[in-house]
Chains A and B, each alone.
Chain A
């Protein structure tokens, strides 16, 4: 039981057939040490055309979106819509532990690459498939997108200002939630594989995971309110501003969490106990929500006496949870991100050096890391096809010309 391995998932090979929708799933497995081989069509992953780009130059090797979500992976090109391409994929499957894809329902089956076929090639393979709306059912052929999946998650209706349009969360929240759930399942399947003696099939519906996983509380809260005499439902509207108010300081905004009377009293003390805030009405959370505009007007006289850091730290001493609203550069340079060395320098042959957010945790034995930068299109074709599958460089030329790789 004593062999050294660098990452928690070192030794596993993942074939990554995802595009931007599932890229984060395999990226995290790569950070954890797995050998992730990203398989792109010869034209490249459409994720390569998602902005922002280096110097706004829309080159397939210059998408920050792509390089961030595909770091810690090697990359090859392969057209699985050709017979030869499928044969090469099958050879790779023989030596792989996991295959992840997000083509949508029935596509892999239509190519003869469904789970039933894959397990004949390699009974140990774990196959994870993402669909937008499930493999079956009334929405099976519906189209998803970042904003559509987020809209249906139940979070969007609560995001932004009342009276204005519900607001999209930055990033790819629904796809990332589905990616992380897929990771949990993939690792569980690898963990249990020796005990059951085979791989298995994993299905992830982005709609289902986003709805049940991003804001799971709204359903039971509403369900609780349906009984006569039950608690009032948490209003499903956009109340972020009044429930968790935001106030300006000298150098930026802060967010305040005063849910209990004790927390409110601590906030008042933090601000020097001004008389106008001592009115008993303000101690009532519901009153504060109802009068949040008036309260804002009063508060800013006091909160603007402090810097973000001063009021955050003084609030902590008094017992009121406050957080600074950092903009992007301020978070990078924040004392906590700096102390934890969260940002990591990564060099990319076309883009050059950048500071990337690193893995969000520190491990004592197997520190996850951005092991290398995202692959250029087909960067590892020779490494994989020649060294591992025994093709010659001449073979690669032929396959390239034929549109197979």
Chain B
């Protein structure tokens, strides 16, 4: 088997939700040994939003390729075991509610006394060092608290509502992985670890930098544009046949516009003074959109996408999960993978998207049950005897699943 990029690296995931756990998953896919530090008393909150702690689809997606140790950090013995793990670790990452890691005795200052060259990433919603550092934060609050949500709406919506997906959590997680990777390379070259304090609101704000410049330089408060684009028309999501089905279409160039008029059977639009060039299309965009809807509405979204793409016009189905599961390119790329999890059985998950030619990513493995690898970690990494492990389980310091394992 080829060498992996992070072979030999040990990362401790004391995270919850997405921002840290999803970022650390990328390290696992690059070959790091990732150990999730958890216990029944301090569950990753995504485990709590399912019928049973091992059956959460969100958790089982985010925490693939990790090992789990069930470790009660409220006990002195539990703390000692975590200290032993820290001694052999390269990375420690946490996004518990602000103050939790410190109260347990595992803030950066304490951790680096145990392992001076540790890379320690901490991420709170509003970041450390501000008045709201200890405030809990979920993804939908971060688009709100960053300015991003204020412009995530159609101009005629009464107020912005964003999405039921937890974005920008899954952007923060990628920044988390970038930061740890860069810190690992710095450590490789200099021997030094460091502390990184990431604010998830700031990740969101970083994604709309031009809007901030429009305000700080032009002194103009950016207004929401919805699906409109100031230099393309048609540009939007258009309804198709069926319940709540849509296709996104964007026409930028004259060439795309002429293809669009031909393939939709409306060559007359190219001659129509309301639509013949970009400026007139932008001026008459409401009228244009009505005409486009008349064409899309009786058609299937997939059919519209195919007709337009074959004619060289950018178009794409506004996908739901079942669409993705039949998307021919997704299938061709093997971008989804079926994994068998001991509790929930066979399910589809997004596959590993990392494509490195010389150090291939590690194939996806199911997320761990809570404490699934407690014995293995204690034996192999902490060199503990079976008897010690058994006793600590009796005392409730260690925990492993009480269901039969495969």
Contact = CB atoms under 8 A, between A and B. Distances in A.
Given A222-B322, A241-B161, A167 B188 contact: no
A270 interface: no
A212 B51 CA distance: 25
A379 interface: no
Given A138-B329, A328-B215, A151 B248 contact: yes
A342 B225 CA distance: 26
Interface in B307-331: 309, 312-322, 324-325, 327-330
A181 B49 CA distance: 28
B303 interface: no
Contacts of A269: none
B315 A148 contact: yes
Nearest to A172: B207
Interface stretch (A82-90, A100-108, A332-340, A389-397): A332-340
Given A328-B211, A328-B222, A342 B57 contact: no
B196 interface: yes
Contacts of A238: 161, 163-164
A340 B129 CA distance: 6
Contacts of B250: 145-148
Contacts of B216: 332, 343, 354-356
B191 A216 contact: no
A177 interface: yes
Interface stretch (A36-44, A50-58, A73-81, A274-282): A50-58
Nearest to B2: A196
B344 interface: yes
A169 B148 CA distance: 8
A403 interface: no
A209 interface: yes
Task: Find the residue from B58, B178, B350 having the highest chain A CB count within 10 A.
Answer: B178
A67 B6 CA distance: 34
A316 B135 contact: yes
Nearest to A33: B182
Given A51-B231, A151-B248, A321-B141, A180 B175 contact: yes
Task: Find the residue from B195, B215, B350 having the highest chain A CB count within 10 A.
Answer: B350
B157 interface: yes
B330 A151 contact: no
Task: Find the residue from A138, A143, A214, A237 having the highest chain B CB count within 10 A.
Answer: A143
Given A215-B167, A223-B321, A335 B138 contact: no
Interface residues of B, number: 156
B58 A220 contact: yes
Contact of A147 (B208, B248, B328): B248
A294 interface: no
Given A156-B237, A166-B237, A200-B356, A219 B325 contact: yes
Contacts of A217: 57-58, 61-62, 165-166
A261 interface: no
B130 A336 contact: yes
Contacts of B149: 255, 325
B265 interface: no
Contacts of A160: 153-154, 157, 161, 163
Interface string A26-39: 00100010000000
Nearest to B133: A336
Given A2-B190, A187-B182, A211-B319, A200 B358 contact: yes
A243 interface: yes
Interface in B344-396: 344-345, 347-351, 353-359
Contact of B61 (A67, A168, A220): A220
Contact of B214 (A52, A188, A326, A336): A52
Contacts of B217: 54, 64, 351-354
Nearest to A335: B131
B205 interface: yes
Given A166-B246, A224-B347, A183 B178 contact: yes
A167 B353 contact: no
A148 B316 CA distance: 5
B128 interface: yes
A208 B5 contact: no
Task: Find the residue from A154, A240, A323 having the highest chain B CB count within 10 A.
Answer: A323
B142 interface: yes
Nearest to A233: B321
Contact of B350 (A54, A211, A257): A211
A161 B244 CA distance: 12
Interface string A232-245: 01101111110110
Interface in A324-368: 324-332, 334-340, 342-343, 351-366, 368
Nearest to B141: A323
A329 B61 CA distance: 36
9 smallest CB-CB distances across A and B, nearest first, come from A336-B130, A151-B248, A212-B350, A323-B141, A222-B321, A360-B202, A137-B332, A200-B358, A180-B174
